[in-house]
């Protein structure tokens, strides 16, 4: 799986931990923040733009609390994202909402939980069907 990551200064240590583990697990990792972005807006937009250009990719944006990256991602037309702090929500947002990106707060979740969240998000497949009506509505919004 191709996974796109981006982070500001607050999320950098957690992003590096996730990146290292994803690579070990055999994922193709695209790091949009080799150096921390000055602001979460910059790093989140870089992830979102990459995802919109690469349909088969999923992404994770990191900042201090996850909320800033979430707010940024949802301003991008066609981007469905979720702020996540547990494994079940990560899985379900992908399965039912076709989320392409999750946002994680390094001051909210620790490394092990963040890795489990990321694994669950990446392991889920979008169900489509009855959920597509909602996804279509979300994709029309900016």
Q: Quick one: three-class SS letters along 10-58?
A: CCHHHHHHHHHHHHHCCCEEEECCCCCECCHHHHHHHHHHHHHHCCCCE
Query: Does position 138 have pLDDT exceeding 90, yes or no?
Result: no
Mean pLDDT of all residues in the chain?
95
Give yes or no for a contact between 85 and 52, defined as CB atoms under 8 angstroms apart. Answer: no
CB 107 within 8 A of CB 64: yes
Interval 105-117 mean pLDDT? 98
Q: What's the pTM value of the predicted model, to 2 decimals?
A: 0.94
Q: What is the pLDDT of residue 137?
A: 84
The neighbouring-strand residues paired with 101 are 59, 81
Would you state the structure tokens that stand for residue 58, as one six-digit string?
Answer: 């999923």
Question: 3-class SS at 116?
Answer: helix
The mean pLDDT of 92-119, rounded to a whole number, is 97
Query: In whole angstroms, what is the distance from residue 73 CA to residue 117 CA?
Result: 18
- Give yes or no for a contact between 72 and 37, defined as CB atoms under 8 angstroms apart: no
Which of 32-46, 83-97, 118-132 shows the lowest mean pLDDT across its residues? 118-132
Of 63, 46, 47, 133, nearest to 98 (Cα)? 133
Dump pLDDT digits (tens) for 14-37: 999 999 999 999 999 999 999 999
Which residue ranges form the domains of the chain, and what is each CATH number? 2-140 (3.40.1400.10)
Written as six digits, the tokens of 5 are: 């990551």
User: 64: helix, coil or strand?
Assistant: coil
């Amino acid at each position: 799986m191709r996974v796109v990551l981006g982070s500001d200064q607050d999320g950098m240590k957690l992003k590096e931990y996730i990146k290292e583990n994803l690579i070990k697990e055999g994922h193709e990792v695209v790091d949009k923040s080799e150096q921390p972005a000055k602001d979460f807006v910059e790093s989140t937009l870089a992830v979102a733009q990459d995802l919109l250009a690469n349909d088969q990719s999923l992404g994770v944006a990191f900042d201090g609390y996850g909320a800033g990256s979430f707010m940024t991602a949802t301003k991008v037309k066609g981007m469905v994202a979720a702020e996540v702090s547990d494994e079940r929500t990560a899985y379900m947002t992908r399965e039912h909402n076709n989320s392409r990106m999750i946002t994680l707060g390094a001051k909210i979740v620790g490394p092990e939980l963040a890795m489990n969240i990321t694994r669950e998000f990446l392991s889920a497949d979008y169900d489509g069907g009855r959920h597509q009506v909602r996804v279509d509505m979300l994709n029309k919004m900016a």
